[in-house]
């Protein structure tokens, strides 16, 4: 066997006959950026120039020889000679085979092997080594361009993912986009993202083509993905590597009706570094996954993990928001079956999912706000805010800032910018309660906003669009107020596209019992006591009572019953109701008979309000509820009675 001196890249001058081959080689290299395609053109050129019958570029990997490209009719490789050249890193000739390292001392393990049926000269040809050097240089240029191309593609794909993430708020489409992008980027047949359900010790793989629900569930100890999850390290399985192929879980293949030949899997880690899944690409087209692929997938997985975490958070938020909305919608219900309530319910159903303005009229505590909420939750705005404003409770000077917001420093107390109710309810519903109490100046501003659908914060100049649906309510006769010029006619017509009249409690017939039972059950549950029921006599007693219009009052009485009825009692009879249905007289008895009626009434009212506030331990909202009043009306009443008012 002849040994050659270490081959060097000779100049073209030394081999003028090969100059044309060299120029073709570099021309092909300039046009190609896929090494396999380049070799397909380059190897026949080299083979022909050297007068060979067969030429192969081979790579020694894990004790096997892989042919990267070849020219001429295939023949068995001289594996012993290849091994010797690999060890010696020197060109060698053996019978008709001539083998040289493609790039000596590079450690790439790539050898160029040529076979010739006849040998002109027995010693190794300098021309062969020189041509191998040119091939190496040209191939290196192609590979470098491929690397840069791949890097560019990878960066584009990552940008694509990041951009899509911003728009994709749902998990399933996001996973599908990621799988599609990585499949394209890494030249694989498939990709799957596994999310780890630690509690269930399962890996949930999506997308899983061919599996019902596009979702694959496997134990977290299974196969290569299981190993990645537990070691936190990337894993690669190459084509035909028997020992490692044994690690591929073929049960998963069977489920997916797919045959895994090669595989690359990297862990997915959250922002705080915890492992929450794995990203897997399967079957590299035309070979094995490379170090570059692994590097790309690791990079991709880092971005994917952030996107997945964010989407998960958004999904969780949307889910809990939906749950909260559903809960709230379920809690808002109009109890009762009397014809007036049935008609009301049917109108509410018809107007709910429109954007019509609705004016709700009715006495205090008849359920105007309940109806407004039913309209909101029955509309497509249900997941957006329902914002209620009591126009009577806000002083005229504050009304504008309350409704439209204010900029920082707009007035003395405006220490921070504050959004107004119109902005807060922008996609939802704005309920303007006690609209009849709004000043004429306030009405003018409200009308402008309703017409232009634009608000400007107090002290600001930016137009802020608002799409809030406005529902208004009042216990006053608005038409009368219009006649008295205390309410703008144009605003009246704008708010009053549909009118809903709330029936007073006294006109609701048997609904009184239905409502009483409903509230009693509600408060028994709240008080965590056994549920009490009315006897027939008690129901008759309830119906015989002269109820005012106010449902709130009935509700408050039922609250007292639920808390005051003895614990061991599960039936309430007529006498049990006597103490709440007969007018309280203690305060009145305590009054002397020498005061004029107006003074006595005033004293009674003061005493009565005081007792309720005491009973509620100073909680004004609760005290107002008990008194059948709105909190703001209670304050107004107290000021009128010259009582001390502790306003926050
Ligand atoms: N039909 C009904 N079904 C269930 N609850 C009702 C009904 N009507 C009124 N209520 C209850 O009565 C109370 C008063 O209702 P709401 O606040 O909606 O009345 P309102 O007419 O808006 O009162 P106000 O005039 O004081 O603003 C609430 O606790 C509400 O839950």
Instruction: List, for residues 637-648, the tens digit of each pLDDT value.
Output: 888 888 877 655
Average pLDDT, the chain: 84
Q: How confident is the model at residue 432 (pLDDT cuts 50, 70, 90)?
A: very high
> Is the CB of residue 628 below 6 angstroms from any atom belonging to ligand 1?
no
* Between residues 575 and 88, the one the model is more confident about: 88
* Structure confidence at residue 249 (pLDDT): 75
Q: How confident is the model at residue 632 (pLDDT cuts 50, 70, 90)?
A: confident
* Structure confidence at residue 388 (pLDDT): 94
For atom 10 of ligand 1, which residue has the closest CA? 367
State the Cα–Cα distance between residues 634 and 590, nearest whole angstrom.
Answer: 23
Q: How confident is the model at residue 397 (pLDDT cuts 50, 70, 90)?
A: confident
CA of 426 to the centre of ligand 1 (A): 25
> Is the CB of residue 366 below 6 angstroms from any atom belonging to ligand 1?
yes
For atom 29 of ligand 1, which residue has the closest CA? 552
CA 608 to chain centre: 52
* Structure confidence at residue 2 (pLDDT): 36
Atom of ligand 1 nearest to the CA of 511: 1
* Between residues 412 and 407, the one the model is more confident about: 407
Closest residue by Cα to residue 193 from 256, 135, 277, 98? 277
Q: How confident is the model at residue 254 (pLDDT cuts 50, 70, 90)?
A: confident
* Structure confidence at residue 564 (pLDDT): 79
According to DSSP, residue 6 is labeled: P
114 close to 55: Cβ distance less than 8 angstroms: yes
245 close to 239: Cβ distance less than 8 angstroms: no
Residue in 362, 364, 388, 552 to alter for ligand 1 test, most ligand atoms within 8 A of Cβ: 552
* Structure confidence at residue 101 (pLDDT): 92
Compute the average pLDDT of residues 592-608.
74
Q: Is the pLDDT at 485 greater than 60, yes or no?
A: yes
The answer to whether the peptide bond before residue 207 is cis (omega within 30 degrees of 0) is: yes
According to DSSP, residue 17 is labeled: G
CA dihedral angle for residue 554, residue 559, residue 564, residue 569, rounded to 10 degrees: 90
CA 117 to chain centre: 69
State the Cα–Cα distance between residues 227 and 220, nearest whole angstrom.
Answer: 9
> Is the CB of residue 552 below 6 angstroms from any atom belonging to ligand 1?
yes
Residue in 362, 370, 558 to alter for ligand 1 test, most ligand atoms within 8 A of Cβ: 370
* Structure confidence at residue 244 (pLDDT): 54
Compute the average pLDDT of residues 218-235.
90
Q: Is the pLDDT at 563 greater than 80, yes or no?
A: yes
> Is the CB of residue 630 below 6 angstroms from any atom belonging to ligand 1?
yes
247 close to 258: Cβ distance less than 8 angstroms: no
Q: How confident is the model over 5-46, as pLDDT tens digits?
A: 333 444 455 666 677 888 899 999 999 889 999 999 999 999
Percentage above 70 pLDDT, the chain: 90
* Lowest-pLDDT range of 249-258, 307-316, 361-370: 249-258
CA of 369 to the centre of ligand 1 (A): 6
CA of 281 to the centre of ligand 1 (A): 60
Q: How confident is the model over 260-305, as pLDDT tens digits?
A: 888 999 999 988 889 989 999 999 988 889 888 898 889 888 888 8
555 close to 519: Cβ distance less than 8 angstroms: yes
Residue in 343, 551, 553, 557 to alter for ligand 1 test, most ligand atoms within 8 A of Cβ: 551
Count CB-CB contacts under 10 A for residue 367. Answer: 23
| ipTM associated with this complex | 0.96
188 close to 296: Cβ distance less than 8 angstroms: no
Closest residue by Cα to residue 503 from 313, 269, 286, 336? 336
Helix (H, G, I), strand (E, B) or coil at 459: coil
Strand partners, 146: none
Angle between helices 126-167 and 291-331 (to 10 degrees): 10
- pTM over the 0.80 mark: no
Domains of the chain: 2-147 (3.30.450.40), 168-316 (3.30.450.40), 332-503 (3.40.50.300), 506-582 (1.10.8.60), 587-640 (1.10.10)
* Structure confidence at residue 582 (pLDDT): 57
Atom of ligand 1 nearest to the CA of 360: 21
* Between residues 537 and 599, the one the model is more confident about: 537
CA of 551 to the centre of ligand 1 (A): 6
CA of 428 to the centre of ligand 1 (A): 21
Exposure string of 632-641, with b = 16+ CB inside 10 Å and e = fewer, is: bbbbbbbeee
Q: Is the pLDDT at 209 greater than 70, yes or no?
A: no
State the Cα–Cα distance between residues 473 and 471, nearest whole angstrom.
Answer: 7
């Amino acid at each position: 066997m002849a040994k050659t001196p270490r081959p060097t890249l000779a100049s073209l001058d030394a081999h003028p006959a090969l100059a044309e081959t060299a120029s073709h080689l570099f021309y092909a290299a300039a046009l190609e950026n896929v090494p396999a395609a380049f070799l397909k053109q380059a190897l026949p050129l080299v083979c022909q120039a050297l007068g060979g019958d067969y030429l192969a570029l081979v790579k020694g990997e894990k004790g096997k020889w892989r042919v990267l490209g070849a020219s001429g009719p295939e023949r068995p490789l001289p594996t012993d000679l290849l091994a010797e050249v690999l060890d010696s890193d020197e060109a060698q000739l053996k019978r008709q085979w001539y083998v040289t390292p493609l790039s000596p001392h590079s450690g790439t393990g790539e050898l160029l092997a040529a076979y010739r049926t006849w040998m002109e000269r027995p010693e190794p040809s300098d021309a062969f080594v020189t041509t191998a050097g040119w091939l190496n240089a040209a191939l290196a240029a192609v590979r470098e361009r491929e690397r840069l191309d791949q890097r560019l593609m990878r960066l584009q794909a990552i940008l694509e993912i990041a951009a899509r993430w911003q728009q994709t708020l749902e998990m399933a489409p996001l996973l599908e986009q990621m799988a599609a992008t990585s499949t394209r980027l890494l030249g694989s047949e498939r990709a799957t993202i596994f999310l780890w359900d630690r509690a269930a010790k399962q890996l949930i793989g999506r997308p899983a083509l061919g599996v019902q629900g596009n979702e694959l569930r496997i134990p977290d100890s299974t196969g290569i993905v299981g190993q990645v999850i537990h070691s936190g390290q990337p894993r690669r399985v190459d084509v035909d590597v028997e020992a490692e192929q044994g690690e591929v879980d073929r049960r998963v293949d069977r489920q997916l009706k797919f045959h895994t030949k090669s595989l690359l899997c990297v862990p997915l880690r959250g922002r705080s570094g915890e492992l929450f899944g794995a990203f897997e690409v399967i079957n590299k087209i035309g070979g094995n996954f490379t170090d570059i692929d692994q590097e790309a997938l690791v990079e991709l997985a880092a971005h994917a993990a952030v996107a997945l975490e964010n989407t998960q958070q958004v999904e969780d938020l949307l889910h809990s928001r939906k749950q909260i909305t559903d809960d709230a919608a379920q809690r808002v219900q109009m109890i009762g079956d009397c014809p007036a309530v049935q008609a009301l319910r049917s109108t509410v159903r018809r107007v709910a999912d429109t954007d019509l303005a609705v004016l709700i009229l009715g006495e205090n505590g008849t359920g105007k706000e309940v109806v407004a909420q039913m309209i909101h939750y029955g509309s497509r705005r249900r997941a957006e805010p329902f914002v209620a404003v009591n126009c009577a409770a806000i002083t005229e000077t504050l009304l504008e800032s309350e409704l439209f917001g204010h900029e920082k420093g707009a007035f003395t107390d405006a220490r921070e910018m504050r959004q107004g109710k119109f902005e807060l309810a922008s996609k939802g519903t704005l309920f303007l309660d006690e609209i009849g109490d709004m000043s004429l100046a306030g009405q003018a501003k409200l009308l402008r906003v309703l017409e232009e659908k634009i608000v400007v914060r107090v002290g600001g100049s930016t137009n802020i669009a608002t799409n809030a649906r406005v529902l208004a309510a009042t216990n006053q006769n608005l038409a009368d107020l219009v006649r008295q010029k205390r309410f703008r006619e144009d605003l009246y017509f704008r708010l009053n596209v549909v009118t809903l009249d709330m029936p007073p409690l006294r006109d609701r017939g048997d609904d009184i019992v239905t409502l009483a039972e409903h509230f009693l059950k509600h408060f028994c549950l709240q008080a965590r006591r056994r549920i009490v029921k009315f006897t027939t006599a008690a129901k008759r007693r309830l119906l015989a009572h002269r109820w005012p219009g106010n449902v709130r009052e009935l509700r408050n009485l039922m609250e007292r019953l639920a808390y005051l009825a003895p614990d061991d009692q599960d039936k309430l009879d007529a006498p049990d109701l006597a103490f709440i249905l007969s007018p309280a007289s203690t305060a009145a008895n305590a009054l002397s008979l020498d005061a004029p009626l107006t003074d006595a009434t005033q004293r009674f009212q003061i005493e009565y309000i005081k007792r309720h506030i005491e009973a509620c331990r100073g909680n004004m909202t609760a005290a107002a509820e008990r008194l059948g009043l709105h909190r703001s009306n209670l304050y107004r009443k107290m000021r009128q009675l010259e009582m001390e008012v502790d306003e926050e």
